[in-house]
Amino acid sequence: MNCHDVDRTLSQGLPLPLQAEEHAGTCNRCQQLLSALNSPVPVDPLSPAALRKIAESLADNLRPVRPLAPARYFVGAFVGIFVSIVALSVYRLGAFAIAVMTPLQTTAILSTLAIGTGLLVYSLVNQMVPGSRHRIPPALLAVGITILVAMVMAVLFQVQQEGNFWGNALFCIQAGTLVGALAALPFWLVLRRGAILSPRMTGAAAGLLAGLAGTSVLEIHCPNLDAWHILLSHLGVAILCALAGIATGLTVEIRGRRSIHRSSSEYGAH
C-alpha cells in the first residue's frame, strides 16, 4: 500500500483498510492529508433565534403541495408533443424526402434523430427534479447528440452541385425554426412544472429538442439530399434552436437571481 493507493481508496468513498492505516502511520504526507480532511470546518453555531426565524418564515405561508408526477408522465408528455408537432408539420408540408432517400438513409437518419430525442427527453425529465440521477451529464449530452447527428448526416449524404444553395437553405431554416418554435412553447409549459436549477443548460437541451423536431420535419419533407444543405440548414435549425434556448435560459437566470435577491432582502428587512 502506498500514497497512490490511499488516494484511490479515499476517492472510492470506502473506509480505509488496515494496510492503508498502517501506511498512514508511517507516511507524514498521508497523515497530514487525512487529518486535514477529517478536521471539522470551524463555524460559529447558528443561533436558535436565526434558525427559528427561517423556520417561521417557511411555516408562515405553508400550503400543501402535490409532489411532482412520476417521470414516465413527463416522458410521455415530451414524446407526445414531439411526435404531434412533427406529424402535423409533415402532414402540412408533405413527406417528399422519403420518396428520394434510400431505405438505409431513411432508417439511419430517422433512428439517429429518434435516439437523440429519447436521450434528450430523459435528460430533461431528470433536470426537472433536483438531485436526479444522470447517466450522461446534461452538458455533454447536448453536444454529443449534435455531433452524432452531424456525423451520421455527413456519412449518409454526399455533396452535390446545387443551383440556389442559399435560397434553399434559407427556406429550410425558416420552416424548421418555425416548427422548433411551435414545439418549444409546449415544452416550456411542461418544464415549468419542475425546478430548473440551471436554466442555461436546460434551455440548451429544451432548445435542441425543439430544434430536433424541426430537423426531423425537414428530413422527412425536404427532397434536397446535398450534404452541405442538410448539415447547414437541417442540422442548423437544431443548433439555432439550442442557441435560442441558451439565450432564454440566460435571461431567466438573470431575472431569477434578481428576484431571489429581492425576496431575500425583503426577508432580511422583515
Q: Given the rule CB under 8 A, which residues bind other proteins?
A: 3, 7-8, 10-13, 29-30, 32-33, 35-46, 48, 50-52, 54-59, 62-68, 70, 126-138, 194-195, 197-198, 201, 253, 256-257, 260-261, 263-264, 267-268
Distance (Å, whole) CA 212 – CA 104: 20
CB of 30 to other proteins, least distance (A): 8
Smallest gap from residue 199 Cβ to other proteins (A): 10
C-beta of 36 vs 99, nearer to other proteins: 36
If one counts every other C-beta atom within 10 angstroms of the C-beta of residue 45, the result is: 7
CB contact burial 218-254 (16+ within 10 A = b; e otherwise): bbbbbebbbebbbbbbbbbbbbbbbebbbebbeeebe
Q: Which is nearer to other proteins, 61 or 161 (CB)?
A: 61
Cα 140 to chain centroid, rounded: 9
Question: Cα–Cα–Cα angle for 186, 68, 133, nearest 5°?
Answer: 95
**Residue 107 C-beta: closest distance to other proteins, Å:** 31
Q: Which is nearer to other proteins, 41 or 99 (CB)?
A: 41
Q: What is the C-alpha to C-alpha distance for residues 188 and 234, in angstroms, rounded to an integer?
A: 22
Query: Least distance (Å) from other proteins to the CB of residue 194?
Result: 6
**Could you identify the residue written with the cell 430525442?**
117
- Residue closer to other proteins by CB (options 73, 166) is 73
CB closer to other proteins out of 118 and 138: 138
**Residue 17: CB minimum distance to other proteins, A:** 16
- Cα(182)–Cα(159) distance, integer angstroms: 31
Check if the beta carbon of residue 205 is closer than 8 Å to that of residue 123. Answer: yes
